[in-house]
Amino acid sequence: MPLISVLMPVYNAQPYLAEAIESILNQSLSDFEFLILDDGSTDRSLKILQRYAAQDPRIHLTHRANGGYVSALNALLHQATGELIARMDADDMALPERFALQAAFLQAHPEVVCLGGAQDWIDAAGRVLLYHPEAEQDAEIQQLALSGQTPINHPSAMMRRAALLQVGGYDEALCPAEDLDLWLKLGEIGQLANLRDTVLQYRQHSGSVSERRQLEQTAKRRLACQQAWTRRGLQGEQANFHEAPPWRPVDRPSRHQFMTIYGWWFFNAGQRQAALIYSLKAISALPWATEGWKLLACALIKPMPSQSEVSK
């Protein structure tokens, strides 16, 4: 029986799939089974998966008609035999030491039932946008979850299979906030934690579920919290629910805002080509807004920051 079962649903993930698979196969800790479910992909995802499955016996591939992401996760969970469950998405990349770091922490902290970690957020081309740490201690993580925030990045999570089964797996009715619901339920039977170490490169792109369904996510987050407040007998928590602004683009103004922010980050990091790309993305989103044009002008003609300035 392997130590870790890796769960990865796949649906039309062709552009990033090979990188995601290889990031798992190249883990320094190799004691795992890699459970992949192709959920009715209509692109070349299944062919890519079949090629890798033929090369590595740790991959266990199943294929079905499209039934939905959360249903796929539950199907994979019932196939799993490992003591630990590691989540993975088909558009992200796990760092080579991820499994080793997370498994060692969970073995040293039996009270922790779910462990995430910090991420490097990357764009569609794999350029690093920012380093994103998470709250590390159980008390802070629990409070964030109860206020409607998602304090563990789902594809970075490693959980105890027994705990995941004890709470009934994923609630399909709460998709696309099934992860927050799960953290709340797991937090009622054990502790939650995040590593300070970066364990994942988390990809931001317009095709992701989180980007396409943010507004629906907010409503389901509130419902997951309301159920948790009832289970825990908490009063007055509704006033603390966090109506967060979009953390990914949901419309043209927010796309312009994010593209401008990322463009300035690249400019200040001395990456002129990336700054040019993001200035054009910002202009495309809102052609009449001045911020995108200002970024474009600076990226075209302004001297880049010196390396000494970038490193400060």
Single-letter residue type at 124: A
Q: Is the pLDDT of residue 274 over 50?
A: yes
Is the same domain home to 262 and 142? no
Provide the pLDDT for residue 281.
Answer: 76
Band of residue 52 on the pLDDT scale cut at 50, 70, 90? very high
Domain boundary, last residue among 237, 262, 283: 237
Provide the pLDDT for residue 264.
Answer: 74
User: What are the backbone dihedrals phi and psi of residue 116, each rounded to the nearest 5 degrees, phi first?
Assistant: -110, -150
Band of residue 208 on the pLDDT scale cut at 50, 70, 90? low
User: Nearest CA to 223 among 148, 308, 305?
Assistant: 148
Residue 242 lies in a domain: no
Provide the pLDDT for residue 101.
Answer: 98
Q: Is the pLDDT of residue 219 over 80?
A: yes
How large is the average pLDDT for residues 264-271? Answer: 76
Task: Between 143 and 269, name the one with better pLDDT.
Answer: 143
Is the same domain home to 23 and 132? yes
Residues of the domain holding 123: 4-237
Provide the pLDDT for residue 140.
Answer: 96
How large is the average pLDDT for residues 183-206? Answer: 93
Residue 146 lies in a domain: yes
Task: Between 248 and 111, name the one with better pLDDT.
Answer: 111
Domain boundary, last residue among 237, 263, 287: 237
Instruction: Report d(CA 1, CA 304) in Å as an integer.
Output: 54
Residue 294 lies in a domain: yes
Is the same domain home to 165 and 297? no
* 243 token code pair: 């109506």
Provide the pLDDT for residue 311.
Answer: 46
Is the same domain home to 34 and 162? yes
What DSSP assignment string belongs to the chain? --SEEEEEEESS-TTTHHHHHHHHHT-S---EEEEEEEES-SSSHHHHHHHHHHH-TTEEEEEES---HHHHHHHHHHH--SSEEEE--TT-EE-TTHHHHHHHHHHH-TTEEEEEEEEEEE-TT--EEEEE----SHHHHHHHHHTT---S-GGG-EEEHHHHHHTTS--GGGTTSHHHHHHHHHTTTSEEEEEEEEEEEEE--TTSHHHHTHHHHHHHHHHHHHHHHHHHT--SGGGG---PPPSS--SHHHHHHHHHHHHHHHHHTT-HHHHHHHHHHHHHH-TT-HHHHHHHHHHHHSPPPPHHHHH-
Band of residue 265 on the pLDDT scale cut at 50, 70, 90? confident
Is the same domain home to 199 and 280? no
Provide the pLDDT for residue 205.
Answer: 63
Is the same domain home to 135 and 44? yes
Quote the number of domains for the chain: 2
Residue 157 lies in a domain: yes
Residue 70 lies in a domain: yes
How large is the average pLDDT for residues 33-43? Answer: 98
Is the same domain home to 86 and 148? yes
Is the same domain home to 49 and 147? yes
How confident is the prediction for the chain on average, in pLDDT?
A: 88
**Exposure on the CB side of residue 1, measured as CA atoms within 13 A:** 9
Instruction: Report d(CA 283, CA 301) in Å as an integer.
Output: 17
Residue 80 lies in a domain: yes
Is the same domain home to 188 and 268? no
Count of other CB atoms within 10 angstroms of residue 244: 13
How large is the average pLDDT for residues 112-118? Answer: 98
> pLDDT tens for residues 296-309?
888 888 776 665 54
Residue 247 lies in a domain: no
How large is the average pLDDT for residues 174-197? Answer: 96
Query: With pLDDT > 90 as the criterion, what percentage of the chain qualifies?
Result: 62
Is the same domain home to 50 and 119? yes
How large is the average pLDDT for residues 222-236? Answer: 88
Instruction: Report d(CA 88, CA 93) in Å as an integer.
Output: 8
Provide the pLDDT for residue 249.
Answer: 62
Is the same domain home to 47 and 70? yes
Domain boundary, last residue among 176, 202, 237: 237
Is the same domain home to 139 and 258? no
Residue 245 lies in a domain: no
Total length of the chain: 312
- The CATH number of the domain holding residue 212 is 3.90.550.10
How large is the average pLDDT for residues 75-96? Answer: 97
